């Protein structure tokens, strides 16, 4: 079952259950997917693009949540807090920090990276390998830690 079919089925279930949080979250995902499909490039929407889209939606909500908390807008922060875990459930299972560190250590060894000058090479391989499974900031901090 692809993401679009899963979203449609979950939307129906949320409507029947009258779950407002689920409805709001699913509609946001569905709208973003529709925009992705009709962006005018004519390219097919791959699973990788769908994962990047979902990650973008989660990141947007986390950024908004941070801003709302700084401005003491609890009414808006609650909405973002509710939507984040709902959207994240459509993302692939995240890697544990131990597994991620071990995999990045292997990439560093494979590329022969030894200093911060090689960070771009390691980051390129790591981002490609862990797309959807790990956050870019986490990957970057682990790479810096291993190369310094």
Question: What's the pLDDT tens digit per position in 1-49?
Answer: 688 889 999 999 999 999 999 999 999 999 999 998 888 777 788 888 8
Locate 62 and state its tokens.
């986390």
Separation of alpha carbons 76 and 108, rounded Å: 42
Fold held by 97-147? Arc Repressor Mutant, subunit A (1.10.10)
Across 86-108, average pLDDT: 84
* 3-88 and 97-147 have identical folds: no
Greater pLDDT, 1 or 89: 89
Across 98-115, average pLDDT: 82
Q: Are 142 and 101 in contact (CB under 8 A)?
A: yes
Place of tokens 């590329």: 111
Contacts 24+ apart (CB under 8 A), 38-44: none
Across 124-129, average pLDDT: 81
Domain boundaries, the chain: 3-88, 97-147
Q: Which residues make Cβ contacts (< 8 Å) with residue 76, sequence separation at least 6? A: 64, 68
Tell me yes or no: is domain 3-88 CATH 1.10.1510.10. yes
């Amino acid at each position: 079952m692809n993401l679009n079919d899963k979203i449609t089925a979950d939307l129906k279930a949320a409507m029947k259950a009258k779950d407002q949080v689920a409805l709001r979250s699913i509609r946001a995902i569905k709208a973003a997917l529709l925009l992705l499909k009709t962006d005018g490039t004519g390219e097919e929407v791959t699973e990788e693009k769908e994962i990047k889209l979902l990650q973008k939606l989660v990141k947007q909500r986390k950024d908004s949540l941070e801003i709302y908390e700084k401005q003491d807008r609890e009414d808006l922060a609650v909405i973002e807090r509710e939507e984040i875990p709902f959207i994240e459930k459509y993302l692939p299972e995240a890697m544990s920090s131990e597994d991620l560190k071990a995999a990045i250590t292997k990439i560093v060894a494979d590329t022969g990276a030894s200093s911060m000058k090689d960070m771009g090479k390691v980051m390129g391989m790591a981002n490609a390998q862990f797309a959807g499974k790990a956050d870019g900031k986490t990957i970057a901090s682990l790479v810096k830690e291993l190369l310094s």
